[in-house]
Structure 1
Amino acid sequence: FIGQAAEHLKTNGTIITVESSLADSKALHDFIDANGFRIADSEKAHIFFEDIVALALKKKG
C-alpha cells in the first residue's frame, strides 16, 4: 500500500496507518522512508499487552 500511495495521494495529503509495538518498527520506518514518506505525527495508546501507534505520513519534500 505505502509503495503505491504516492501516485494516488493529493498534494499535502496524509496517510494514516497503525503499527504495533510487537512489530519490527525499524523495518516499517525504513520502508516508509525508502518510499518517499516521512512520519509527520504519531499518537500512541497502550492496549492490553502492546502499544498501538497511529502514524500520519506525508510525502517528503
Structure 2
Amino acid sequence: MTSDERMKMEQGQLALALVMEDFQRRVERQEASEQDLSALMSAALDRFPPEFQSELRAELAARSA
C-alpha cells in the first residue's frame, strides 16, 4: 500500500467515525431512530462499487459494536 492510499484509507475511517458519532448523538437526542439512520447508511453504502461493499460494511459493523 502506498502512503497516498494509506492516507486516503485513514481519512475515510476518520470520516466514518465522525458520521457514526453524529448519528449516535442524534439517536440520544431522539432526533432520529436507529432504524432511520441504519436505512440512511445502507442507502449511502449502496452507492459504492460492489467490490468495496464487504469492506465498508465490515468497517461499519465494527464501529457499531
- Judging by fraction of residues, say which structure has more strand: 1
- Judging by fraction of residues, say which structure has more helix: 2
Normalising by structure 1, report the TM-score: 0.42
Normalising by structure 2, report the TM-score: 0.40
